[in-house]
Chain A
Amino acid sequence: MSLEVSYNSDEMMTVSAARMLRNGAICFVGIGLPSTAANLARLLHAPDVVLIYESGPIGAKPAVLPLSIGDGSLAEEADTVVSTPEIFRYWLQGGRVDIGFLGAAQIDRYANINTTVIGNYHRPTVRLPGAGGAPEISTSAREVLIIVRQSRKSFVEKLDFVTSAGFLTGGDSRRQAGISGGGPSAVITDLCVLRPEPESHEFIVASIHPGVSAERIRQNTGWKIRFEVDCGETTPPTADELRVLRDLKARTAAAHGMPEPVV
């Protein structure tokens, strides 16, 4: 018998994402949710994962989560720190990255991502931060994991702008566009885990987090979302996973002088 441990939906999301990072993988990490999940994996089952940040650190082992993509803690414990052009030219475009780990502002059913604008490009309603490294991470990494909170605002029928390619219009369209990397293999949210359906490459629900209903997932998705036939329940976080995650966040909040733990 295992003890019941309470946790919140963000913790479930981060733990699910961390579990997907295999030990020894070469992982190109985005800041924020991806960085939290990647470092959790490193502290749990994947001590030999190689974390690459776009600011230049290769083999980063930050003691606390970086607040920005270029925090000094990333450089201090890294195997090496190279210039930003080198990161993108030799290491990413050079084909040395197994997994690209990305976040998103908006995502569609083929896991294309928008982090550029909401509304018309030239007269945007909301100007988002922009592409960063994502357009090339999503095409050059052998595999892509996407971590994003699920809502009608983030899971949309049609993107206002495609910043980074997923499976484009589905089917064979990604390969037809000449994109070398294999594309997104999972989208991890605070409600569920989605995987691409073979052939169509539409993302469908592969496992539902404990306590979440299928109806709630439908309500928080801007398209008619489908579920795998044998869609199961996500394994809840273990006490160990939660302890390591909470320790990491507490250390991070203390180190950055922040009142609330960062995600």
Chain B
Amino acid sequence: MTAAAATAPKPSLWRRAWDLSLLPAIAIGLALIFGAVLMILSSPLLGGFNLFLPITAYKALVEGSVGSLNSIVNTLVNATPLVLAGLAVGIGFKGGLFNIGGYGQFLLGALCATIAAIALNDASPWVAIPVAVIAGMLGGMFWGFIPGFLKAFTGAHEVVTTIMLNFVAVYLVSYVISGPLRGTGPEVTFARTDTFVAAELPIIIGRNGHLGLLFAAVAVPLAWWLLFRSTTGFEIRTAGASPDAARYAGMRPRWLIVLTMSICGMLAGLAGTVEWLGEVGYGQAFYGTTVGFDAIAVALLGRANPVGILFSALLFGAMQAGAGQMQAQAGIPPQMIAILQAVILFFLAAETVVRRVLRVRTAGTGVGTELQTVSRSYGEQATR
């Protein structure tokens, strides 16, 4: 930051919002154009060349995501795990850590919540729900603690360890749920647990808007407060911007790494918890979800800022919610959503090029400096 920028008056809230959201908006727009071109090119496979297919498809996508109360609730339900897992990646970015372990932490959270929920299936919901939710958070926290601890004290890089732990989590869940926890009820026709009775999250809005929506809504301001208003958050951000500066300032970067990864794991674990307790309703031995990778997209689009993450999770949640209607009305496979996500990310990653070509002049990005810390650290395993 130059001296002039430092002494300049603080820009207004609107100005800052504009600066933060202009490039993501451009990326979204370019991705929609890319998607439209792809749809037109592939329209012969859908029964004849059709220049207006993208309009039909995007209209169905919007209707399916915000067209009625049920679809709005559906959007919120889809956005909930993305908000929580997105925060799990975003807070990591702020601390100079790249958490690719969202999937594993999600699963561990879901698994621990399931264990508690099955054990307390006959208890009162007032007991079962809090215990299951806390168990899930602790499970995810543990799965985030491991890579944090390994990075801080052995130098094993979190990108690799979290990827490996994702797979360990997959097999652990598969073992526990198809083995000891396999249900005995008549509804159990594949490897799953009994249906949750006491710990199932109650519906608070619409057809399927469960209590987990509130958790996500509370997590955003809490994460914002943690990052920007608490001493711990200041230390996390300092360690993220410059680990050396943090060390010279008397902070303990190693413990900050462990703490940050544990918080990230806890949030991703909560995502898994609300998804299984609220949406699925039982434990599953094989649960494929892309939430871990989607969360990276959410965090980047939201510039690692909790409020930004909320908005980008809502956007991706809306796209997921509307995908079904888009397929029904325009015949576009739901995988289009993944394509759009990837293309949005592509234009964000190629930000410098987009800026140059479109002559965009806004303030710097939210994740630039932290990501430099992240990418600098890949090769540093050797020096620790």
A and B bound?
no
Interface residues of B (CB under 8 A from A): none
Interface residues of A (CB under 8 A from B): none
